[in-house]
Chains A and B, each alone.
Chain A
Amino acid sequence: MSAAASEITVKSDAVKQMPVEQPHVALRGITCVFHSRGRSLHALGPVDLSLTKGEFFSVVGPSGCGKSTLLDILAGLNPPQTGTAQFEGKPIQGVPDGVGVVFQEDASFPWLNVHDNVAFGLRRAGVDPAEIKRRVDYAIGFMGLKDFAAAYPAQLSGGMRQRVCIARTLVLQPRLIMLDEPFGALDQQTRLIMGDELLRLWRETSATILLITHALDEAAMLSDRVGVMSTRPGTFIDIVETGWDRNRDSRVVSTPHFGDITARLWEKLRVEALKMMSTSETRSS
């Protein structure tokens, strides 16, 4: 495993040394306002954000600050009210090719077993059956679902279903992978292990990853950079560079640097969390 990992490092270093012409993802002045029943709700922004190709970026922020809304905009599911969003240099209009999303809610298809769930996107894309089988078997193994390939989602735990959704996204080999609290349903130790798996995947694919999470330790351990969002309407109030090596894994949690990062994230977030608590007390306005 370590031999394979170092081999991958060489490759990824090669990727890093390539000249970076343009950001992989670029957001400028993005805002989102929802209108429902004659009332308008400023959910997000203005947000500016650039992600470099192959970067692991996490977003933390108080509940309801617009994290999922931001993801929807990046995925082309929901156009912003103002601002420009670009993926690979092209404006985002509709869902761009090369983007994979794992949603916050369980999106597994209850009528398909695990294998067919994971194969769904590949079949839609008309990939040849032998290749489908190879990629699906790999993704299922990668996500630790090998013994459940024939099981239906209803027979799995919430965390396992979320893994099905991750596998289903991975097999399409997206160049930008966005995950919205994918490990929310998992216990702490499984979350750390899944984090390691995600890092391994990230190294193997050199995809850009945008991870939304509630867990500061998860963000601190996994990311190159962590964006901290304010309460609604969410904007980035801090972007923390972790400075981790590309070969990091969950063992970094025992280093003093990890403590520093988490402390800085919490310092920023605590203020926002307190603000949110006080605004929710005076909601009547």
Chain B
Amino acid sequence: MRTEAVLRFGIVALLVATVEILCRLHVIPVGVMIAPSQMAVELTKILVSGEFSADIISSIVNVLTSTVLSVTLGFVAGLIIYSAPGLRAALEPLLASYYAVPTFIFYPVFISLFGVGSGAIIAIAVLLAVVSMITATLNGLDRIPRVLRKTGRIYRMSRIKTAVMIELPSAAPSLFTGIKLSVAYSFIGVIASEFILSGSGVGYAIAYAYNNFETPRMYALMLLIILLVTGVNTLLNGVDRRLQSQRRR
């Protein structure tokens, strides 16, 4: 491990240890927060009992669905916008200021469209994630050096072959950034939507535990989300680093 990795780990460990001590000394009351070690114990219990398995699976399926949809839609939309410069000029300012709009305000619309349940949740998450993929796709296509396309022509490759064998790999790092962002936004979109418009999922379970003063469960589920997101992110960063390392000096 490099020194910054050690340092990072140390900082996180120190924070967790501080909270642990404050909880144990009852500086932080039990009603407010339980000790991290207890969260872990509680989480293990929950996972072993399988009490929330349906919620966990439902959330994960929703996140995956939303990621796949937003990556696919975003990529296709990106291609279309890229190939129509006039359209692009018109849309660019909208895309750039898109994330200034709090997407969640639209939840009543989605409930009336899809009803309460996965449909509305996925719709909100896709709405949140798709623009990051569109932007990443445009960015990736913009960065393909002209000379690489020329090279494809010198090899007398068809338009499709050039797209698959030259343009796609050339744009891959940017596209992967789009995928990473889509995963992150899908997580946010799904978990947050479950708070407000669902009767299932981990987000819903956290809200339910909160409303019923089940503090240990609430924290255990929060820990679960954090572990899940950290795990997925570490995985994606690993792939990203491999993609980037080829290209960096």
Using a CB–CB cutoff of 8 Å, the interface residues on chain A facing chain B are 75, 77, 94-95, 97, 99-101, 103, 105-107, 109-112, 120-121, 124, 152, 154-155
Contacts and interface: CB of A to CB of B under 8 A. Distances in A.
B246 A111 contact: yes
A110 B155 CA distance: 17
Nearest 10 interchain pairs by C-beta: A105-B147, A111-B169, A107-B147, A152-B246, A107-B151, A110-B247, A154-B247, A103-B147, A101-B154, A154-B249
A100 B172 CA distance: 27
Given A110-B246, A152-B246, A155-B249, A124 B150 contact: no
Contacts of A107: 145, 147-148, 150-151
Contacts of B150: 77, 101, 103, 107
Contact of B246 (A75, A94, A97, A154): A154
B246 A95 contact: no
Given A101-B154, A105-B145, 20 more contacts: A75-B154, A77-B150, A94-B156, A95-B156, A97-B156, A100-B154, A101-B150, A103-B147, A105-B147, A107-B147, A107-B150, A109-B166, A110-B246, A111-B170, A111-B172, A111-B246, A120-B155, A152-B246, A154-B248, A155-B249
B155 A99 contact: no
Contacts of A100: 154
The A contact surface, by secondary structure, is loop
Given A152-B247, A154-B246, A155-B249, A95 B154 contact: yes
Contact of B151 (A99, A103, A152): A103
A101 B153 CA distance: 11
Interface of B: 145-148, 150-151, 153-157, 161, 165-166, 169-170, 172, 246-249
A77 B146 CA distance: 12
Contacts of B249: 154-155
A208 B123 CA distance: 61
A106 B154 contact: no
Contacts of A77: 150, 153-154
Contacts, number: 51
Nearest to B146: A105
A152 B248 CA distance: 9
Interface centre among A97, A112, A154 (most CB of B within 10 A): A154
Contacts of B151: 103, 107
Contacts of A124: 155, 157, 161, 165
Contacts of B146: 105
Contacts of A112: 169
A107 B1 CA distance: 36
A24 to B, nearest CB: 18
Contacts of A111: 169-170, 172, 246-247
Nearest to A174: B154
A106 B150 CA distance: 12
Contacts of B246: 110-111, 152, 154
Nearest to A121: B155
Contacts of B145: 105, 107
Contacts of A94: 156
A10 to B, nearest CB: 33
A111 B173 CA distance: 10
Contacts of B172: 111
A97 B156 CA distance: 8
14 contacts: A75-B154, A94-B156, A99-B154, A100-B154, A106-B147, A109-B148, A109-B170, A110-B246, A110-B247, A111-B170, A111-B247, A112-B169, A152-B246, A152-B247
Given A154-B246, A154-B249, A109 B155 contact: no
A117 to B, nearest CB: 10
Contacts of A110: 170, 246-247
